[in-house]
Structure 1
Amino acid sequence: MEACSIIMWYNKNTSYMAAASRPRLLHGKDQVIRLKTHSLTVQIPRQRMKERAADFIRTANSFKSSLIVSQGPNSVNAKSLLGFLSLDPGAGDEVTLTADGPDEAEALKVLSSLLEHSDT
């Protein structure tokens, strides 16, 4: 697995603001943060995803890093069951996992393997 970097900018008053390959000029106390990401194709059939979602969320919550899962224009907290289910990912769908924190590399590796490997 090879993770690439995206750039997000962070403002202490308003949290994460935007993601871009070229961030705009930042002023004041804003700062540039490089986040680790991994894009993958889901291999779990949509019918089985609800069963596997609890395992995904439980695993995501075992990491200290902030984790985001994105599908198309929608992004949710990877540690939220309702958020994850609202994406309704299934086999063949492209998703992107984003991590920021002390165990980000391990989190991306483990969570990616949960979505990329179907046991059926």
Structure 2
Amino acid sequence: MDNTIKRLPDAEFTVMKAIWHSETPVTTLVINEHLSSDISWKPQTLLTILARLTEKGFLSSERRGRERCYTPLISENEYLEIETGNFLNRYSGNSIGHLVKALCADNDLSPEDLNELRKLLAEKGSV
């Protein structure tokens, strides 16, 4: 996976989430069904976003009869790994410790959160 992938604008990310959570290949009709009810884009808006995602290499597109079908070329996990890495690099100098410290400083951690963190650290051999 190429780390030069840029962060998707919110609208494009919303469409990708709808595609990732659908059985692929997927049509625009199915994508519209998976978008939340408060999103009411015109059909051309969705087509424009899909064309951009195809240009950027996130989707492949093929015509099947009268419909165009889209398949993700990048998985949700791949994208989120890159986004998380970019966030970590940008805001905490690639230090997971600094990031966790910052998150803990301003937020009350529940006992469940603390247990989950302990488990993760134990799995990594850090505790």
Q: Is TM (by shorter chain) over 0.5? A: no
Larger Rg: 2
Structure 1 or 2: more helix by fraction:
2
Q: Which has the higher contact order (CA 8 A, sep 6+)?
A: 1
TM-score normalised by structure 2 residue count: 0.24
